[in-house]
A and B are shown apart, each in its own frame.
Chain A
Amino acid sequence: MSLLDEQVSVPRRTMTLFFLIDTSGSMEGSKIGAVNDAVANVLPMLDEISAENPDAEIKVAALEFSSGVHWLYSEPKLASDFVWQDVKAGGLTSLGAACAELSSKLSRSGYMQSASGSFAPAIILLSDGGPTDDFDSGLNKLKANNWFKAAIKIAIAIGDDADKDVLKQFAGNSEAVFTVHNIDALKQIIRVVAVTSSQIGSKSSTAGDTTKQEQVIEEVKDAVENIKGAEAATTVDSSSYDDDWD
């Protein structure tokens, strides 16, 4: 019986879920409070998805950006080990620097070190404004990164002041940007996006032509219909014939 007793878990890949959180001054008050509450509450759910999943374990990393950028932990952590320290709002919106910082960690020498390999990460960007630094050079670095290219990318626009065009550029298309107009919707969308991207991102893919990001967008869209004050992109993505023609 010894061989059966000695069994160890199958090796699992790692799927890292990144939260990129805007902690600029405009987030102060109920917005940052809602983000803190929602992320802290979603961590146990991610732990549960991870614990029952033979394909991959889920790790979490969080980067806050305001006048500077700051990782909450210096490495991705299992959701069960991730103690959420409330982030505080104040300062500018260094989204460009956040992109550059994320890109530097999306590498095998950075955060993607799992011995049994990884699935592409899922990246959730939350912002209520627009970048105050050099966004383009940061984004360009990120866009050249193969981990980023393969990642599930979803952006959450908090209120109408969020620069949706910037969020669209980050997430790759306008359908991956979801907008919320109240605190309750913000909390709900964080949960839905984090859970859905973790579920889909941490499983072997299905046959067929839809990408994991497209699958996440479809599921989140369905959920958004039932969240008051949350909306999916309603306009047709016209970037192919509107942009880059000048």
Chain B
Amino acid sequence: MAELKKGDKIRLTSGGFVTIEKELGRGGQGIVYLVDLNGEKKALKWYINAPDDKFYKNLEHNILSGAPSVAFLWPEYLTTKQNGSYGYVMKLRPQNYFEFGNFLLAKKSFRSYSAMLAAAMKICNGFMMLHRCGLSYQDLNDGNFFIDPDTGDVLICDNDNVMPQGEKSGIMGKARYMAPEIVAGGIPDKYSDRFSLAVILFMLFYANHPFEGAKVVACPCMTETYEKKFYGSEAVFIYDPTDKSNLPVRGIHQNVIRRWPAFPEKLRKTFEQEFSQEKLKNPNTRMIESLWEKLIAGIRDSLVRCPHCGEETFIENTHSCMDCGKHVDVSKRLKMGTRSVMLTKGTKVYVDNDNIPDAEIVVHPNDPSKILLKNLSKDNWTAETPSGKIKVVEPGGLMPVNPGIKIAFSNAYKGEITQENNN
């Protein structure tokens, strides 16, 4: 036990030191302190019981390599070993980010579906970049994410367990989030991360656990043995299309019962597949992060603002608002490859996956029946009219939403405005 106190100076391997100001919180492994580093406020995670040398070397290596993406609250400095333990320094979490658990407890909720989708996109992107670096997160659970409820921006913390794939950090994951093969004693890797990612995404969208239905509720006392069973060897998805033994229970799993039918079908289909018995048992068939990104982008393309009630709504086959039920005209589209972005007043368009809107649909100042596309990006767009004229739309500039116009947002992203007839 090596607790620190206010005023203690803790040396860093890079030279210099941090000064302890106060405790910010504590968990099973360690204590997080507010510290001062040359006048800048930072957070120090200090281990109560120092993990072994391999863990120390791994931290050192991760600090040298740097964060895989901006989504990570990544270790920045390592302390030397002192006072019988050690720790690492990272950025402070901003005040407007809240633990994912607060969303599950309904103490915080997303301000909009756009924010919810932005959070999902950011988490997927973070893990894609992490896996691209050959690393795995190992212990992905509800305590690792901090989310801004207004924007959906995400910070992934507790990155000290991140290890090269195939290596074991020694810190075990949490039941309910661990892949069945890890519950059974396997070594975490990118495939088990992908299982945990699917669980986190499911909970983010539906605010209930994908394996907690009638079967689990019927278990009066959830002992460690039963946890291994219900989240491991005998896990059954609550909406498994063939096995109805674990359906959500009215009065208990309210969120998922309401949201499952209301949210887009492609989301339902994806979770049915990802939590099918086949994928539970075959880790390498689980969906890769870039396909999750594609799915989320597609869902975002079908999220519009209802012109009648002003609420956000997902538009699927019926073209009616989820809230007021009135018909929404989504005949104007922006086609980009297989994507079909619905263009309605007030809707924002995300050309790529960075969560920053690139365009917005606004009303024509002189003719309320017409809509215009506004360039919210920092780049010039090049548009080609049906007759072959080339126009440049500068940042902040406007262009008509007329079928047949082709737009190059950049070299990588091109699209065409179309008119759908089956509206």
Please give the residue numbers on chain A whose beta carbons come within 8 Å of chain B beta carbons, in ascending order. Answer: 1-11, 13, 52-55, 108, 112, 115-120, 146-147, 150, 199-200, 203-208, 211-212, 222-223, 225-226
12 residue pairs of the A-B complex, CB under 8 angstroms, read A2-B311, A4-B111, A6-B258, A7-B207, A8-B255, A10-B255, A54-B142, A112-B220, A117-B220, A119-B221, A208-B172, A226-B1
Chain B residues in 8 Å Cβ range of A208:
172
Taking a contact as CB atoms closer than 8 A, the residue among A7, A150, A207, A212 that contacts B255 in the complex is A7
Q: How far is the CA of A203 from the CA of B176 in the complex (A)?
A: 10
Chain B residues in 8 Å Cβ range of A116:
217, 252
* B52 on interface, CB distance cutoff 8 Å: no
The tally of CB-CB contacts under 8 A between chains A and B is 113
Give per-residue flags for B98-129: 1 if the beta carbon is below 8 A from chain A beta carbons, else 0.
01011011100111110010000000000000
User: What distance in Å separates the Cβ of B63 from its nearest Cβ neighbour in chain A?
Assistant: 26
Taking a contact as CB atoms closer than 8 A, the residue among A9, A53, A146, A207 that contacts B178 in the complex is A207
Give per-residue flags for B247-279: 1 if the beta carbon is below 8 A from chain A beta carbons, else 0.
000011111001100100000000000000000
CB distance A118 to B221 under 8 Å? yes
CB-CB nearest in chain A for B173? A207
Q: How far is the CA of A9 from the CA of B109 in the complex (A)?
A: 10
CB distance B312 to A1 under 8 Å? yes
User: What distance in Å separates the Cβ of A102 from its nearest Cβ neighbour in chain B?
Assistant: 15
User: What distance in Å separates the Cβ of B213 from its nearest Cβ neighbour in chain A?
Assistant: 11
The count of chain B contact residues (Cβ–Cβ below 8 Å) is 54
Q: How far is the CA of A156 from the CA of B312 in the complex (A)?
A: 57
CB-CB nearest in chain A for B232? A207
Q: By CB atoms of chain B within 10 A, which of A4, A115, A120, A146 has the most?
A: A4
Q: Which of B297-326 contact A (CB under 8 A)?
A: 311-312, 322-323
CB distance B183 to A1 under 8 Å? no
Chain A residues in 8 Å Cβ range of B322:
3
Chain A residues in 8 Å Cβ range of B217:
11, 115-117
* B49 on interface, CB distance cutoff 8 Å: yes
Known: A3-B322, A4-B110, A4-B116. A118 touches B220 (CB 8 A): yes
CB distance B176 to A11 under 8 Å? no
User: What distance in Å separates the Cβ of B172 from its nearest Cβ neighbour in chain A?
Assistant: 4
* B158 on interface, CB distance cutoff 8 Å: no
Give per-residue flags for B203-231: 1 if the beta carbon is below 8 A from chain A beta carbons, else 0.
10001110010001101111110010001
CB distance B48 to A222 under 8 Å? yes
CB-CB nearest in chain A for B139? A206
Taking a contact as CB atoms closer than 8 A, the residue among A4, A117, A207 that contacts B109 in the complex is A4
Chain A residues in 8 Å Cβ range of B49:
222
CB distance B209 to A10 under 8 Å? yes
* B241 on interface, CB distance cutoff 8 Å: no
Taking a contact as CB atoms closer than 8 A, the residue among B172, B207, B254, B259 that contacts A206 in the complex is B172
CB distance A55 to B176 under 8 Å? yes
CB distance A119 to B48 under 8 Å? no
Please give the residue numbers on chain B whose beta carbons come within 8 Å of chain A beta carbons, in ascending order. Answer: 1, 28, 48-49, 99, 101-102, 104-106, 109-113, 116, 142, 172-178, 182-183, 185, 203, 207-209, 212, 216-217, 219-224, 227, 231, 251-255, 258-259, 262, 311-312, 322-323
CB distance B105 to A54 under 8 Å? yes
User: What distance in Å separates the Cβ of B231 from its nearest Cβ neighbour in chain A?
Assistant: 8
CB distance A211 to B224 under 8 Å? yes
CB distance A7 to B221 under 8 Å? no
CB distance B221 to A204 under 8 Å? no
Q: How far is the CA of A13 from the CA of B221 in the complex (A)?
A: 9
User: What distance in Å separates the Cβ of B324 from its nearest Cβ neighbour in chain A?
Assistant: 10
CB distance A206 to B105 under 8 Å? no
CB distance B174 to A117 under 8 Å? no
CB distance B173 to A3 under 8 Å? no
17 further contact pairs, Cβ within 8 A, besides A1-B311, A3-B259: A2-B311, A4-B112, A4-B113, A6-B258, A7-B207, A7-B255, A10-B104, A11-B208, A118-B221, A120-B222, A146-B221, A203-B174, A204-B176, A206-B174, A207-B172, A207-B173, A207-B185
Chain A residues in 8 Å Cβ range of B182:
207
CB-CB nearest in chain A for B209? A10
User: What distance in Å separates the Cβ of A145 from its nearest Cβ neighbour in chain B?
Assistant: 11
Q: How far is the CA of A150 from the CA of B312 in the complex (A)?
A: 48
CB-CB nearest in chain A for B212? A11
CB distance A3 to B224 under 8 Å? no
Chain A residues in 8 Å Cβ range of B252:
11, 115-116
CB distance B221 to A5 under 8 Å? no
CB-CB nearest in chain A for B259? A3
Chain B residues in 8 Å Cβ range of A1:
112-113, 311-312, 323
User: What distance in Å separates the Cβ of A194 from its nearest Cβ neighbour in chain B?
Assistant: 16
Chain A residues in 8 Å Cβ range of B221:
112, 117-120, 146-147, 150
Known: A10-B209, A54-B105. A117 touches B178 (CB 8 A): no
Q: How far is the CA of A116 from the CA of B222 in the complex (A)?
A: 10
CB-CB nearest in chain B for A206? B172
CB-CB nearest in chain B for A211? B224
Q: How far is the CA of A52 from the CA of B112 in the complex (A)?
A: 23
CB distance B178 to A120 under 8 Å? no
Q: How far is the CA of A135 from the CA of B356 in the complex (A)?
A: 69
User: What distance in Å separates the Cβ of B341 from its nearest Cβ neighbour in chain A?
Assistant: 21
CB distance A204 to B259 under 8 Å? no
CB distance A207 to B183 under 8 Å? yes
Chain B residues in 8 Å Cβ range of A206:
172-175
CB distance B183 to A11 under 8 Å? no
Q: How far is the CA of A146 from the CA of B113 in the complex (A)?
A: 45
CB distance A5 to B207 under 8 Å? no
Q: How far is the CA of A146 from the CA of B223 in the complex (A)?
A: 10
User: What distance in Å separates the Cβ of B101 from its nearest Cβ neighbour in chain A?
Assistant: 4
Q: By CB atoms of chain A within 10 A, which of B101, B224, B258, B322 has the most?
A: B224
User: What distance in Å separates the Cβ of B151 from its nearest Cβ neighbour in chain A?
Assistant: 15
CB distance B258 to A3 under 8 Å? yes
Chain B residues in 8 Å Cβ range of A54:
101, 104-105, 142
CB-CB nearest in chain B for A208? B172
User: What distance in Å separates the Cβ of B100 from its nearest Cβ neighbour in chain A?
Assistant: 8
CB distance B220 to A5 under 8 Å? no
CB distance A5 to B175 under 8 Å? no
